[in-house]
Amino acid sequence: EIVLTQSPGTLSLSPGERATLSCRASQSVSSSYLAWYQQKPGQAPRLLIYGASSRATGIPDRFSGSGSGTDFTLTISRLEPEDFAVYYCQQYGSSHTFGQGTKLEIK
């Protein structure tokens, strides 16, 4: 099973700042099968990025994804108040696994 490790566990930033979230895989992941989700309290996760770098429908362009192999990054270029949430990466190999999440909190 491929294990995804996200860092940092918690990221404290202010609105307007840039956020960089990391997702590292225990073995190589196909970029086609790496996704990012956002989850706000009491809500279901929402797909942000698929195929490592493609934005899902309706996702603002301040969200971008990059990476390949075992290292992937989600970048939020300029934080809006509604961006403070928990973010998960997810991969598909022969099975689906999620990272443990990064909590993005207001500083």
78 near other proteins, judged by CB under 8 A: no
Look up residue 104 and give its amino acid: L
Q: Mask 28-67, x = binds other proteins (CB under 8 A)?
A: ----xx-x-x-----xxxxx--xx----x-----------
Distance CA 46, CA 80 (A): 17
Distance CA 87, CA 8 (A): 11
Residue 86 structure tokens: 């928990």
Find the shortest distance in angstroms from Cβ 70 to other proteins: 18
5 near other proteins, judged by CB under 8 A: no
Find the shortest distance in angstroms from Cβ 11 to other proteins: 16
Q: Which of 63, 72, 84, 88 binds other proteins (CB under 8 A)?
A: 88
**Which residues on neighbouring strands pair with residue 73, listed in sequence order?**
22, 66
Q: How far is CA 16 from CA 5, 23, 51, 76, in A?
A: 26, 23, 27, 10
Residue 60 structure tokens: 């603002």
Identity of the residue, 13 or 47, whose beta carbon is nearer to other proteins in the bound complex: 47
Residues that bind other proteins (CB under 8 A): 1, 32-33, 35, 37, 43-47, 50-51, 56, 88, 90, 92, 95-101
